[in-house]
Amino acid sequence: MSLDHSWFTEAIPATGTAFSLKGSKLHSEQTPYQQIEIWQTESFGKLMTIDGCTMVSTRDNFLYHEMMSHPALNSHPDPQTVVIVGGGDCGTLREVLKHSEVKSATQVEIDERVTRLSEIHFPELCDKNNDPRATLFFGDGIAWMKEVAAASIDVIIIDSTDPVGPAEGLFGKKFYLDCIKALKPNGMLVQQSESPLLHLDLIKAMHQAMREAGFAETTLLHFPQVIYPSGWWSGSLAFKQAGSKVSRLEHADALDTQFYNRDTHAGAFALPTYVKKAIA
């Protein structure tokens, strides 16, 4: 929605909050799955929105993409095989492929138009799309995970939109059961899990569902994300085996990142008291 022709506004009645950027609309299309718009903003560069919700901007996308990839990969002892469910803007794929230990990274995105528009408007996020280790698959991530070979994946990154529409099925026990089957014995999953300030009930429900599905251990990481509700975001991690989380930080400061380093890695896992109690 927009206040007038020069502002994009995402208003969220459920939380009584809104976020606005001044700019002009460059593109709008209805795909078989969702409404995608591209804006040119005055202060955040280009902005992609899906169904009226902010997705990615030129100015601050590095926060999300770096923190949804590097903390997880550096918490796994040997992440050779990575699958990204969603992530159609390809920014998370780009960050994953900065890790030389990764041998293959498959991105499973339901809406090919997200990727094709990103290639036009966010080419800097797509510069690893032709990496020989990368595979772009366009289809339903839920169906893909159900059919993938058992014990074939080291790390699953669920880089999805909010838990509505095409992404709704990615936030439940049924999907997590398929993820556990697909993961190797020391495998792990990380999923974007909204704002610890505004969506704590969702985070609690996700961790409960992950444990009910059989994950032995879960935790949370958090980071700033200006264009998302409250400006404070999170990722939920689930480990197939208890005690398998490691901290491989010897190369953390050499990953060509803007936000992530060994200090922000440690800080991301230092949880506020009320969040820690909620997911215990």
Render pLDDT for 73-89 as a digit per residue (tens, 0 to 9). Answer: 999 999 999 999 999 99
Residues 109, 125: contact at Cβ < 8 Å?
Answer: no
Q: What is the mean pLDDT of residues 157-177?
A: 75
The CATH superfamily assigned to 7-57 is Spermidine synthase, tetramerisation domain (2.30.140.10)
Kindly report, residue by residue over 112-161, the tens digit of the pLDDT. Answer: 999 999 999 999 999 999 999 999 999 999 999 999 999 999 999 999 86
Reported confidence tier of residue 198, pLDDT bands at 50, 70, 90: very high
Strands 232-239 and 217-224: antiparallel
Q: Can 7-57 and 61-242+273-279 be said to share one CATH topology?
A: no
* pLDDT at res. 162: 63
| CATH ID of 61-242+273-279, from 3.40.50.150, 3.40.50.1950, 3.90.1530.30, 3.40.190.10 | 3.40.50.150
* pLDDT at res. 172: 84
* pLDDT at res. 203: 95
Per the annotation, the verdict on 178 as an active-site residue is: no
DSSP letter for 166, please.
G
% pLDDT > 70, the chain: 94
- The structural domains of the chain, with segments of one domain joined by +, span 7-57, 61-242+273-279
Nearest CA among 142, 173, 181 for reference residue 158 = 142
Q: What is the mean pLDDT of residues 271-278?
A: 96
* pLDDT at res. 1: 43
Q: Residue 29 above 90 pLDDT? A: yes
Q: What is the mean pLDDT of the chain?
A: 94
Q: Residue 3 above 50 pLDDT? A: no
Which comes out higher in pLDDT, residue 253 or 232? Answer: 232
Total-model pTM: 0.94
Q: Residue 212 above 90 pLDDT? A: yes
DSSP letter for 31, please.
-
Q: What is the mean pLDDT of residues 199-216?
A: 95
Q: What is the mean pLDDT of residues 221-241?
A: 97
Q: Which of 89, 111, 154, 159 is catalytic?
A: 159
Nearest CA among 33, 63, 66, 77 for reference residue 51 = 33
Q: Residue 174 above 80 pLDDT? A: yes
Q: What token pair was written down for 212?
A: 């009910």
Q: Residue 101 above 50 pLDDT? A: yes
% pLDDT > 90, the chain: 90
Q: Residue 53 above 50 pLDDT? A: yes
Q: Where are the beta strands (DSSP E) in the chain?
A: 7-12, 17-30, 35-41, 46-50, 53-57, 81-86, 104-109, 134-138, 153-159, 183-192, 217-224, 232-239
